């Protein structure tokens, strides 16, 4: 808790610096694409949002699994704190993808493998959040939602490899691929800066939300103690 309090503002500043540099290079300091023109700049927010959507879901499922198996209370808190952040990233990946798809593909949406599996991921996040808070007993809610999170983990490799397994409108992998990235360094730099900014943003908000959850549980314990004292 003490470490989190110290680290939180640093994560905030790191996010601001990385985001500032990433936005400058992404919007101004990098060239337009020879085919996609200026719409390529959507990549600098779309790809980090999509990566973080997958990263957060993996972190959520691992934390929920640790909470389920070893009954580690902090793991449960981390899972619960991650879910809304991951849901926001997934929503943004879908929205910015749609805004990129319209001028480049000629459509806002298509039911192909990559887009549909990302939409399923968004519903998994919402399902986790709904199930987690659906029980009066928080322990039962944590257990039920952890099972959903673990089952839903199968969707992560499906999303990653959907562009290879099926014919989709979405382009195949261009960064994490055999033979290295196929993106020019002038575009790779702002992309990595924005991925860094999104990662530190996630850790920043995660710390805030975990501290809030832990404070809320101390608050509940304090209220219980007061009620018991008043009863005696």
Is 38 one of the binding residues for another protein (CB under 8 A)?
yes
Q: Shortest distance, CB of residue 206 to another protein, whole angstroms?
A: 9
Interface stretch with another protein, choices 31-39, 61-69, 129-137, 142-150 (CB under 8 A): 31-39
Distance CA 127, CA 57 (A): 12
Q: Which of 79, 92, 118, 124 binds another protein (CB under 8 A)?
A: 92
Q: Which of 51, 55, 128, 201 binds another protein (CB under 8 A)?
A: 201
Distance CA 187, CA 185 (A): 5
Q: Shortest distance, CB of residue 167 to another protein, whole angstroms?
A: 25
User: Residue 191 or 205: which CB sits closer to another protein?
Assistant: 205
Is 224 one of the binding residues for another protein (CB under 8 A)?
no
User: Residue 99 or 183: which CB sits closer to another protein?
Assistant: 99
User: Residue 45 or 149: which CB sits closer to another protein?
Assistant: 45
String of DSSP letters for 49-112: HHHHHHHHHHHHHHHHHHHHHH--HHHHHHHHHHHHHHHHHHHHHHHHHHHHHHHHHS-S----
Is 85 one of the binding residues for another protein (CB under 8 A)?
yes
Instruction: Count residues binding another protein (CB under 8 A).
Output: 37
- Nearest residue to 125 (alpha-carbon basis) of 52, 180, 177, 47: 52
Q: Which of 37, 157, 172, 185 binds another protein (CB under 8 A)?
A: 37
Q: Which residues bind another protein (CB under 8 A)?
A: 23, 27-28, 32, 37-39, 41-42, 45-46, 49, 84-85, 88, 91-92, 95-96, 99-100, 102-103, 201, 204-205, 208-209, 211-212, 215-216, 218-219, 222-223, 226
């Amino acid at each position: 808790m003490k470490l989190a309090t110290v680290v939180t503002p640093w994560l905030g500043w790191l996010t601001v610096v990385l985001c500032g540099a990433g936005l400058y290079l992404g919007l101004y300091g990098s060239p337009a694409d020879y085919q996609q023109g200026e719409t390529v700049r959507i990549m600098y927010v779309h790809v980090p949002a999509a990566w973080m959507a997958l990263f957060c879901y993996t972190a959520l499922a691992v934390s929920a699994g640790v909470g389920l198996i070893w009954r580690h209370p902090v793991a449960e808190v981390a899972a619960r704190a991650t879910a809304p952040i991951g849901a926001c990233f997934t929503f943004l990946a879908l929205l910015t993808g749609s805004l990129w798809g319209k001028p480049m593909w000629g459509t806002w949406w298509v039911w192909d493998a990559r887009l549909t599996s990302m939409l399923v991921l968004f519903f998994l996040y919402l399902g986790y959040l709904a199930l987690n808070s659906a029980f009066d007993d928080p322990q039962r809610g944590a257990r039920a939602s952890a099972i959903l999170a673990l089952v839903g983990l199968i969707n992560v490799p499906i999303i990653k490899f959907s562009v290879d397994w099926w014919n989709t409108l979405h382009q195949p992998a261009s960064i994490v691929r055999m033979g290295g990235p196929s993106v020019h360094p002038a575009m790779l730099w702002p992309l990595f800066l924005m991925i860094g900014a999104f990662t530190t943003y996630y850790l920043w908000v995660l710390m805030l939300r975990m501290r809030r959850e832990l404070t809320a549980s101390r608050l509940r314990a304090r209220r219980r103690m007061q009620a018991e004292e008043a009863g005696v």
